[in-house]
Amino acid sequence: MVTDPFIFGHYYSAPYLVHDPKWCWIAEDDRGIVGYLVTAPDTRRYVRWMNRAWLPSLRKLYARNSPDPKWTDFEQWIRGYIHEDASFPDFVGDYPAHLHICFLPRGQGQGLGSKVLKRFESRLRAEGIRGYYLGMAEKNHRAKEFYLKRGLHLIRHDPGVIYFGKKLGKA
């Protein structure tokens, strides 16, 4: 939980929609949106854009100031993270695309995440992009099982984050 309900989206979803909306998908049920997948097919290019075009205005919105006692540890962390340049891991040569995927509890376990991931992978193959990765919180065991069942494999485990990836064949 955070005091600013937009801070997470300002970093992990909105920039993808601005940068290249054709690489973003949403999933809906009869009650509305239940999840999304946002991606950058070329992580290096996205990071350059993020540092040049997105983060300067985000840094103004979330100016450095003294921590508010109401902020959670996560909110303090992400407010600091916004003031660092975006970067990419050393394995992007093998996994040039990356993604963020998030589903509300009511959208989980219905096959929607699998469907959107298949569409994403199909699009990557059609564009000749040979692989992708994602980072996830190491304590998210349910997500870990989801990714492993869909053919992703462990790339690296850093403190607090696990990186999974998948190499793709031709379409």
For residues 152 and 162, the answer to whether their CB atoms sit within 8 Å is no
Percent of the chain surpassing pLDDT 70: 98
- Residue 171 clears pLDDT 60, i.e. is over it: no
As to burial, measured by CB atoms within 10 angstroms (0-12 exposed, 13-18 middle, 19+ buried), residue 36 is buried
Query: What's the rounded Cα separation, in Å, for the pair 86 and 48?
Result: 8
Output the pLDDT for position 170: 65
| pLDDT, tens only, 102-149 | 999 998 988 888 999 999 999 999 999 999 999 999 888 889 999 999
Name every residue whose Cβ is closer than 8 Å to that of residue 168 and which is 6 or more positions away in sequence.
121, 124, 125, 129, 130, 131, 132
Output the pLDDT for position 61: 92
**Structural domain 7-167, CATH architecture:** 3-Layer(aba) Sandwich (3.40)
Question: CB neighbours (10 Å) of residue 25?
Answer: 18
| pLDDT, tens only, 17-52 | 999 999 999 999 899 999 999 999 999 999 999 999
